[in-house]
Amino acid sequence: MKLKQLEGLLGGLTQFSDPKAENSFDDISGKVVADFGCGCGTLAVASALLDAEHVTGIDIDLQSLELAQENATDLELDIDLIQCDIKNLNLKGCQSNSLLYQLMKDVLSVVVAAQAVYSLHKTSTREYIKKAALRNCNAISAEVLCELRYDLPRTYRFHKQKELDIAVDLWRFVPQARDERAS
């Protein structure tokens, strides 16, 4: 199937008329949103469209940030974009070298989100993610909101397949309140 055909078919699909995550948790409208590893800015753009008070996209890759800026500009959205490696946020020591674990720990430790952190992780890592979030990453709750299928395109030379269909979970983590962590 050609890309244009696929886009046409997907564009005609019935969409959620009332997104549950935004309405169930009230985590976006009027809030400050940080999109760590923002890539081309999809979640940052969605947050701005859902009336977030302020949106910042953070990514290590300059080309990704240029695409994110282009997407925000096309929709006339005010989104701040920062080129940064979150490993350089100068946080306290980490108990694991796993990049996934480090990302969760960094984001939840910073507590950019006073209410919640949303993240996508491979479904096969579900038990590990839940244990790590609750035990080591300052989360008081870790909940899978839904399981999705994700087509991961070949983006690097070392990728062996043209694309890979993987199952991913959309997680919602609630960090401890700042005053609870200080004690």
Give the domain-ending residue among 84, 103, 130. 84
Q: Which domain holds residue 178?
A: 94-183
* Residue 61 domain flag: yes
Give the pairing of strands 117-122 and 139-153: unpaired
Kindly state whether residues 45 and 19 are assigned to the same domain. yes
**Could you tell me the CA-to-CA distances from 167 to 2, 73, 111 in Å, in that order?**
23, 31, 27
DSSP code, position 30: T
Kindly state whether residues 70 and 130 are assigned to the same domain. no
In tens, the pLDDT along 22-37 reads 456 677 888 888 888 8
Calculate the dihedral angle through the C-alpha atoms of 153, 156, 158, 162, rounding to the nearest 10 degrees: 30
Report the pLDDT value the prediction gives residue 65, as an integer from 0 to 100: 94
DSSP code, position 125: G
Give the domain-ending residue among 84, 106, 140. 84
In tens, the pLDDT along 117-138 reads 888 888 999 999 899 888 877 7
Q: How many CB atoms lie within 10 A of CB 39?
A: 16
Bridge partner residues of 35 (DSSP):
57
Query: Which one is predicted more confidently, 158 or 88?
Result: 158
Q: What is the pTM of this model?
A: 0.57
Kindly state whether residues 73 and 120 are assigned to the same domain. no
* Residue 6 domain flag: no
Report the pLDDT value the prediction gives residue 81, as an integer from 0 to 100: 93
Given a contact cutoff of 8 angstroms between Cβ atoms, the answer to whether 46 and 68 are in contact is no
Number of separate domains in the chain = 2
Given a contact cutoff of 8 angstroms between Cβ atoms, the answer to whether 125 and 96 are in contact is no
Report the pLDDT value the prediction gives residue 68, as an integer from 0 to 100: 92
* Residue 79 domain flag: yes
* Residue 105 domain flag: yes
Kindly state whether residues 100 and 172 are assigned to the same domain. yes
* Residue 72 domain flag: yes
Reported as a pLDDT band with limits 50, 70 and 90, residue 70 is: very high
Query: Which one is predicted more confidently, 159 or 42?
Result: 42
Kindly state whether residues 104 and 149 are assigned to the same domain. yes
Kindly state whether residues 126 and 164 are assigned to the same domain. yes
Q: Which of 80, 91, 107, 100 is nearest to 175 (CA)?
A: 107
Report the pLDDT value the prediction gives residue 19, as an integer from 0 to 100: 54
Report the pLDDT value the prediction gives residue 80, as an integer from 0 to 100: 92
* Residue 129 domain flag: yes
